[in-house]
Amino acid sequence: MSGLVNGKWVSGDVAKEEIKNGAFHREDTAFREMHIGPQAGRYQLFISLLCPWASRTLIFRHLKGLEKFIQISVAQPVIGENGWTFDTPQDAGDKIAPVSYVHQLYTASDATYTGKVSVPVLWDRQEGRIVNNESADIIRILNHAFDALTGNQDDFYPAALREEIDRWNEVIYHDVNNGVYKTGFAKTQESYNAAVTRLFSTLDTLEAHLQTHRYIAGEYLTEADWRLFVTLVRFDSAYHGAFKCNIRRIEDYPNLSNYLRELYQWPGISDTVNLPHIKQGYYGILWLNPTGIVPAGPELDLRRPHDRQRLSGRGVMHTTG
């Protein structure tokens, strides 16, 4: 395995420790605090542009106009012997020396921590500890916690749509976001067959849904869309090949591919996506791709026009009080 055992780093094949009976089972995250004291400069996001979970938080940092309030540190695309690694030591506040590896944040927060070391990490620079390392929580925190400071009232988890958002989040998480990993990390044919079938069945369902709905929850863009987007944008360039998710491409789905392009072209979102970085990271998983060769293709044009304007859409809902 790779991770921390009683605060000591143990190197091994990333994610292989989460495979049981030939199937991938994602380990739960450990730090789940939801309430923060919103202050400019107090919090820091440690991310990788490779990681879809981390990309959710980077997207919300942009959508909510938090670039001046929350700094970021970006890890290398290929996970090294010491896990997530930075090109240069990263300042993380006065309570801790500059960090070269994400696992140093974990032991600073819990000297006897045992478990997986993952990104994203929402870090409290003032207290020198991890606040939260669950992306689903972090995007909820960013959605509202800083509104009083920024004046940004865009709401990606509006009360009126929460039941519908939660319903789709459950499906998308298990069958798509995590479904590509269940497919790619399967160690038996049976596990692979079950995962890839479920993945593409759900993509077929989403394709049909998006025929008549502008966004996942209807007319408004919500967190459900961004949670799906981070997997879709990696699909054809990485998961299709590296993870054997190759029954179809997203490009082969008319509605999903147009929907993907609309979200990619949303102001500022393309700046959060680094496809060469993504390909390098996924094809750099050597127990899946022993040669480490990164393929030249596919050539993707996510900036070409989309057709989503044919459907009724009202953009982003705003907080009303």
CA 44 to chain CA centroid, Å, is 17
Q: If you search the block for the tokens 């090294």, which residue do you land on?
A: 80
Check if 245 is active-site.
Answer: no
213: left (phi over 0), alpha (psi -120 to 50) or beta: beta
Question: Which residues 6+ apart lie within 8 Å of 109 measured at CB?
Answer: 31, 129, 130
Listed residue (242, 243, 209, 241) closest to 224, CA to CA: 209
Catalytic site includes residue 51: yes
Burial class (CB in 10 A: 0-12, 13-18, 19+), 159: exposed
Q: What is the rounded distance in angstroms from the CA atom of residue 98 to the CA atom of residue 183?
A: 37
The closest alpha carbon to 48, from 86, 16, 13, belongs to 86
Query: Pick the catalytic residue: 181, 192, 259, 283?
Result: 181
Of the candidates 43, 51, 192, 282, the residue annotated as catalytic is 51
> For residue 172, what are its two tokens?
């998308």
Q: Which residues are catalytic?
A: 51, 181
